Structure 1
Amino acid sequence: LPYAIITLASVFTVYVLARLWFEVPFRGSHIVFILACLIFLTGYLALGLVISVVLRQQLTAMQAAMIVGLLPTNLLSGFIFPIENMPQGFQWLTSIFPVRWFMLIAREEFLKGSSFIQLAVPILAMGVASIILTGLAVIKFKGNLD
């Protein structure tokens, strides 16, 4: 819960900076954006839990989290390099990372004002990834308790 609160505070801070400091328009639905943030947050917190349960040592878990969480976020999300310009294999690989879908949703909501229906595929993809990661975290955590 503390990590979720910190992350939501970060999202709010970035949102306020984007709107007020950089004057980025927000044309979409705040409800859809918050829902997408919560789904994305659930998936990445579950990924962190899976990493910490599988890797017992804190330093190793932190390094793995940086590699798994930071590299795909920067390189395979479409934030730095357009996904359309990547080789076909990398385009497919990007689809398994929830951050790719969140970047798409954020762009659509800020710049175009897309509706929930128009964003159903990326929201569903992010939701499925979050459910799988949460289920895996629960299974691994229960396995460690036994």
Structure 2
Amino acid sequence: MKATQTLLIAAFTASALVLTGCASNLSGSSYSRADARAVQTVRMGTIESLRPVQIEGTKTPIGTLAGAAVGGIAGSGIGGGRGASIATILGGVAGGAAGSAIEEGVTRTQGVEIVVREDSGISRAYVQAVDPSQRFNIGDRVRIMSVNGASRVTL
């Protein structure tokens, strides 16, 4: 029983590490494979305002299932007979909720809302992950690059 618990905890930890590795990079300098070598539309503009925002993390079944497995195993060690069955179910439910919350928290990203007055006169807001190599300031001239329905702001 102890080996099974250790194995499930290791699996949960590995799942958390996989989730951080699979999280999309939402910064202005990151491109998906589909965007590479695709023709992009470029517009120019001036930054009117900046605001820090949080970009919510991912919510996939991986975190929920890993948490439910660990919670169920942990709950099964409580009590005996019918009490152990109830504890297993409650542990699985609580573990699933905790696993989902952990996944969302681990993949949450600090972002920036950038309001740009484009040269056409239209103001638009763009949200992207903070990129340390892109230090935006109000009044900066920027490029807005759009491809496949997604836009990014770059200096």
Structures share fold, TM-score greater than 0.5: no
Compare the two structures and name the one with the higher strand fraction: 2
Higher relative contact order (CA 8 A, sep 6+): 1
Which TM bucket (shorter chain)? under 0.3
Compare the two structures and name the one with the higher helix fraction: 1
- Mark the structure with the bigger radius of gyration: 2
